Amino acid sequence: MSVFSDLCAFIRNKEVGELFYRKQLIGIYAGSTTDQYRRRLQVSGYIDTVEPGTYVVLKKIPDNLTTSKLQKEYEIQKNTNPKFIYINKRIKLSLRSIFKGPLGWINLYKT
C-alpha cells in the first residue's frame, strides 16, 4: 500500500468528531509525504487541527478519493477559501519584508 492509502485507511477507521494525534500518523510513515497529505486533507475539509499535533475528523474520506482528486479539492479550497487566501497573503507580505524588494522571481499566489 502507499502512504496515501494507508493514511486514508487510518482516518477512515475514525468516527467523525474523533481525535487522533500526529504521533499516530508518523507511526504509519515518517516523513514529509505524510505531512503533505495531512495538510491537503485538512485544507480540503476532511480533518482539522484542534491544537498542534492533535486533529479531529470532520467528515469521512470517500473510498474513491485519489491523490489527483485530493489535489484538485486542495487547489480549489486554497484559492477560494477566505481563510487560506488571507494566510497566503500574509506569507507573501512576510517574504517581501524579508527580501526587501519585488518578488518577480518568486511565483507565489495571486493577490
Residues 4-18: tens digit of each pLDDT: 999 999 999 999 999
Q: What is the largest distance, in Å, between two alpha-carbon atoms of the chain?
A: 48
Catalogue all structural domains in the chain, each as residue range(s) with its CATH number: 3-65 (1.10.10)
Is residue 93 pLDDT above 70, yes or no?
no
Burial 78-100 (b: 16+ CB within 10 A, else e): beeeeeebeebeeeeeeeeeeee
Q: Cell numbers at residue 89, please? A: 497573503
The answer to whether the predicted template modeling score (pTM) of the entire model surpasses 0.85 is no
Give per-residue pLDDT as tens, 36-47. Answer: 999 899 989 999
Q: Indicate the pLDDT class of residue 107, thresholds 50, 70 and 90.
A: very low
